[in-house]
């Protein structure tokens, strides 16, 4: 007994989960759990007594009545047996918190909920309504009430509705896991039964069809339904069950269900025709028969369901891994998460610099190629041309030309030449800066863990770029200082080693040879300065990279996020949570997956516990 409740309860839970998750079976391209679950679908023509059968299985009046097509959405009716003496109540899946104890209110809610989806247009919809009834007077069973098959559309319903209903009913009962409860009124020729007609289409061997014959009390005097009930008219693998529901008069007179069940029992036990079948007739017997059959079908299906659930769990877990686990809620854990993410970024950033990922090689290219080329291109030829040397030296001398060597002229020429080195050194700093910035951008993009946190990504990028900016300033100061140092103190040795030439000034009377002498003199000054500048250029070619690496690359590796960490430490829980703000779509999807996963896991546990007992 416990097993049976477990089995049907299990299927009930999975069915509800399916509806919550939008799995109604049918045309969805996704694999569906719904379709693998055994269920009992009630089919029959209009007024065949479908509602009456369902109500008498439940033992309560609760289905909407009226003319025309009343049932316009599938009603998944899950019956749960409770302990004797417990109060009966019902719950709808679409308003989970609310317990209904008044069954006329349930009827009203079924109507209202039907209209909510279909509108008042009287259209039909595939989306099921789930109703659970908890009662000591039911057996565990899940029934699906479907719209009655009709031949003509009525009162403003579109002509297509006849076909729509037929299609919807077929879509439910053609699933191999569907048990068909085919309702046929006894006062109608079985050959014209809508229920049998459609059941035969999808289950020709009658393996999963239960034939139910209603209105046995309405048969003409002197006739009986034994040919049908004993399987001679239309053969099914399961025995036919005869039913006597309340007549319209009974309903009008408010004959209650308990009295109706009693009268039904009496009808069979006192009937000369059906007396010896009495124990296998009536709605109570039908309910038990279905429950038992459903249980055996579920038992047979369990391995299949279990493997489907396991497969879905695997898929969901993979998706959750991809989406990332949910973010912690307490500030400490959030801070930890952020630090972990920063570390992941930092690791990738360093790989770009140290090798393994591209980037470091581009920095070397700056030192190895860009800087030497830029140094070579400096316009010293023009600056140290004869004309310019003459001009600078003369200006430096003033009214009293130099007597031995133009000390001031040399200084000015050298100073102004060294000034040219500022350009390439600043350019090297900038080039490396942009490479580092690009590496930061790429590292953020390549940090898989960061993908889901756009806010943190932006903050991290801003903090890193700010730090790089600081390193750039520092690096500029340092490299320019190297240049400045070159002009603050000249290498004395260089000048000492120059070939000494005693120059006589103004000793020659000839103006022409005077000129030639002066030309050679300035030429020598120019070429001396030029070779001094060349020597400095060689020095800077080596020392600028050292300064740049020291100030920018090494600092980036060492302390790129230091300031960010300090800022983080000052943040409160709310601000940390903001940093970990995610793309709402991702959050939504994760929530869905997590919820589904939880349900599937509990279904799996349920299955495990059932199959052990």
Ligand X SMILES: Nc1nc2c(ncn2[C@@H]2O[C@H](COP(=O)(O)OP(=O)(O)OP(=O)(O)O)[C@@H](O)[C@H]2O)c(=O)[nH]1
d(CA 234, CA 206): 9
Which of these, 579, 340, 564, lies nearest to 466 by C-alpha position?
564
352 near ligand X, judged by CB under 6 A: no
- The region of 122-130, 242-250, 300-308, 453-461 touching ligand X under the rule CB under 6 A is 242-250
Q: Which is nearer to ligand X, 75 or 323 (CB)?
A: 75
d(CA 297, CA 73): 25
166 near ligand X, judged by CB under 6 A: no
Q: Which of 25, 148, 211, 545 binds ligand X (CB under 6 A)?
A: 148
215 near ligand X, judged by CB under 6 A: yes
**Pattern of binders to ligand X over 414-453, x per CB under 6 A?**
----------------------------------------
- Block residue for tokens 């686990």: 325
d(CA 54, CA 329): 48
255 near ligand X, judged by CB under 6 A: no
248 near ligand X, judged by CB under 6 A: yes
Instruction: Kindly report the number of other CB atoms within 10 A of residue 552's CB atom.
Output: 25
440 contacts 461 by C-beta, under 8 angstroms: yes
Q: Which of 18, 41, 50, 450 binds ligand X (CB under 6 A)?
A: 50
Q: How many helices (H) and strands (E) does the chain have?
A: 23, 8
457 near ligand X, judged by CB under 6 A: no
Q: Which of 39, 52, 137, 177 binds ligand X (CB under 6 A)?
A: 52
193 near ligand X, judged by CB under 6 A: no
d(CA 118, CA 69): 13
49 near ligand X, judged by CB under 6 A: yes
304 contacts 158 by C-beta, under 8 angstroms: no
In angstroms, give the least distance from the CB of 206 to ligand X: 21
- The region of 193-201, 211-219, 454-462, 574-582 touching ligand X under the rule CB under 6 A is 211-219
d(CA 466, CA 169): 66
214 near ligand X, judged by CB under 6 A: yes
261 near ligand X, judged by CB under 6 A: no
214: helix, strand or coil: strand
Q: Which of 218, 289, 490, 586 binds ligand X (CB under 6 A)?
A: 218
251 near ligand X, judged by CB under 6 A: yes
Q: Which of 44, 211, 359, 360 binds ligand X (CB under 6 A)?
A: 44
- The region of 244-252, 272-280, 315-323, 372-380 touching ligand X under the rule CB under 6 A is 244-252
71 contacts 148 by C-beta, under 8 angstroms: yes
545 near ligand X, judged by CB under 6 A: no
CA 272, 180, 107: angle at the middle one, nearest 5? 90
In angstroms, give the least distance from the CB of 137 to ligand X: 19
Q: Which is nearer to ligand X, 286 or 549 (CB)?
A: 286
- The region of 46-54, 195-203, 546-554, 567-575 touching ligand X under the rule CB under 6 A is 46-54
142 near ligand X, judged by CB under 6 A: no
89 contacts 97 by C-beta, under 8 angstroms: no
- Footprint (CB under 6 A) of ligand X, residues 55-74: 70-71
Going edge to edge, which strands form the sheet with 129-135?
A: 89-92, 129-135, 75-81, 141-145, 39-44, 178-185, 209-214, 241-242
342 contacts 564 by C-beta, under 8 angstroms: yes
127 contacts 12 by C-beta, under 8 angstroms: no
Q: Which residues bind ligand X (CB under 6 A)?
A: 44, 46-52, 70-71, 148, 214-215, 217-218, 243-248, 251
């Amino acid at each position: 007994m416990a097993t049976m409740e477990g089995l049907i309860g299990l299927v009930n839970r999975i069915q509800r989960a399916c509806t919550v998750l939008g799995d109604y079976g049918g045309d969805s391209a996704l694999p569906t759990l719904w379709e693998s679950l055994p269920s009992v679908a009630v089919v029959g023509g209009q007024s065949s007594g479908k509602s009456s059968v369902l109500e008498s299985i439940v033992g309560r009046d609760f289905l909407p009545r009226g003319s025309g097509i009343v049932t316009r959405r599938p009603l998944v009716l899950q019956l749960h047996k409770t302990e004797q003496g417990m109060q009966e109540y019902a719950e709808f899946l679409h308003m989970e918190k609310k317990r209904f104890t008044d069954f006329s209110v349930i009827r009203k809610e079924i109507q209202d909920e039907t209209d909510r989806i279909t509108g008042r247009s009287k259209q039909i919809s595939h989306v099921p309504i789930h109703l659970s009834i908890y009662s000591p007077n039911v057996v565990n069973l899940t029934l699906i009430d479907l719209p009655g098959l009709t031949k003509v559309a009525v009162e403003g319903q579109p002509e297509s509705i006849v076909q729509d209903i037929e299609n919807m009913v077929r879509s439910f009962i053609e699933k191999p896991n569907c048990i068909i409860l085919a309702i046929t009124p006894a006062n109608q020729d079985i050959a014209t039964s809508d229920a049998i007609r459609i059941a035969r289409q999808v289950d020709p061997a009658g393996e999963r069809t239960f034939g139910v014959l209603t209105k046995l009390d309405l048969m003409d005097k002197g006739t009986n339904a034994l040919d049908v009930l004993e399987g001679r008219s239309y053969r099914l693998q399961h025995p036919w069950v005869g039913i006597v529901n309340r007549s319209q008069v009974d309903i009008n007179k408010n004959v209650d269900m308990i009295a109706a069940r009693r009268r039904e029992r009496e009808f069979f036990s006192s009937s000369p025709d059906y007396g010896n079948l009495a124990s296998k007739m009536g709605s109570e017997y039908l309910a038990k028969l279905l429950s038992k059959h459903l249980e055996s079908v579920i038992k047979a299906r369990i391995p299949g369901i279990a493997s489907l659930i396991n497969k879905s769990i695997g898929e969901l877990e993979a998706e959750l891994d991809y989406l990332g686990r949910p973010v912690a809620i307490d500030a400490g854990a959030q801070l930890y998460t952020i630090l972990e993410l920063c570390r992941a970024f930092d690791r990738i950033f360093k790989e770009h610099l140290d090798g393994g990922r591209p980037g470091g090689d581009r920095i070397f290219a700056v030192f190895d190629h860009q800087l030497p080329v830029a140094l070579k291109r400096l316009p010293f030829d023009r600056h140290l041309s004869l004309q310019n040397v003459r001009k600078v030296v003369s200006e430096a001398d003033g009214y009293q030309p130099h007597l031995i060597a133009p000390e001031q002229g040399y200084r000015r020429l050298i100073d102004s030449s060294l000034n040219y080195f500022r350009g390439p050194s600043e350019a090297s700093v900038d080039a490396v800066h942009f490479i580092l910035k690009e590496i930061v951008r790429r590292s953020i993009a390549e940090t898989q863990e960061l993908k889901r946190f756009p806010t943190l990504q932006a903050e991290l990028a801003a903090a890193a770029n700010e730090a790089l900016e600081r390193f750039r300033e520092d690096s500029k100061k340092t490299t320019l200082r190297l240049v400045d140092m070159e002009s603050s103190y000249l290498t004395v040795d260089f000048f000492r080693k120059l070939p000494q030439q005693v120059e006589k000034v103004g000793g020659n009377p000839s103006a022409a040879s005077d000129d030639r002498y002066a030309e050679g003199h300035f030429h020598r000054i120019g070429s001396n300065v030029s070779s001094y500048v060349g020597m400095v250029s060689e020095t800077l070619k080596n020392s600028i990279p050292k300064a740049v690496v020291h100030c920018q690359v090494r600092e980036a590796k060492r302390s790129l996020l230091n300031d960010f960490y300090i800022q983080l430490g000052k943040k409160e829980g709310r601000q940390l949570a903001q940093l970990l703000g995610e793309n709402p779509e991702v959050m939504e999807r994760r929530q869905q997956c997590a919820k589904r996963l939880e349900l599937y896991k509990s279904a799996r546990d349920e299955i495990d516990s059932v199959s052990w007992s």
